[in-house]
């Protein structure tokens, strides 16, 4: 991934929002930032005993996932759900 600009960051943030909303987490906060040629996505979510913080990674597939690439979307969701298994879901 080339050095991202503000437009890339805005698109990545929208992509993360869309993906997390689609996961139906009960309560969550997130942040997106470029790191080491990928997107670092920090998610804090409600669990049965409080909150947990998880850092996820995504590359160019993050933007592809909201641009209609169903395979990229499914892959990211599967990876992220494995890390967010303790979160509460609606």
- The DSSP bridge partners found for residue 11 are none
Q: Is residue 90 part of a domain?
A: no
Provide the pLDDT for residue 42.
97
CB 66 within 8 Å of CB 14: yes
Q: What is the separation of C-alpha 35 from the centre of its chain, rounded to a whole number of angstroms? A: 14
The pLDDT, as a whole number, for residue 3 is: 67
- In three-state secondary structure terms, 28 is strand
Question: Could you give the number of structural domains in the chain?
Answer: 1
Q: What is the pLDDT of residue 37?
A: 85
Dist CA 35 CA 39 (whole Å)? 6
The reply to whether the predicted model has a pTM over 0.75 is: yes
Print the domain residue range for 45: 6-83
Residues of the chain with pLDDT under 70: 1-3
Task: Give every CB contact of residue 75 below 8 A, 6+ residues apart in sequence.
Answer: 61
Predicted local confidence at residue 2, as pLDDT: 61
Task: With respect to residue 40, please indicate whether it lies within any of the assigned structural domains.
Answer: yes
DSSP β-bridge partners for residue 32: 41
The pLDDT of residue 36 = 86
Q: What is the pLDDT of residue 66?
A: 84
Residue 1 falls inside a structural domain: no
């Amino acid at each position: 991934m080339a050095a991202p600009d503000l437009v890339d960051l805005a698109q990545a943030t929208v992509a993360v929002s869309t993906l997390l909303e689609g996961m139906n987490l009960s309560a969550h906060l997130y942040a997106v930032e470029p790191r080491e040629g990928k997107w670092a996505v920090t998610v804090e979510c409600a669990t049965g005993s409080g909150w947990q913080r998880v850092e996820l990674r995504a590359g160019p597939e993050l933007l592809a996932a909201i641009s209609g690439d169903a395979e990229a979307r499914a892959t990211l969701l599967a990876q992220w759900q494995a890390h967010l298994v303790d979160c509460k879901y609606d």
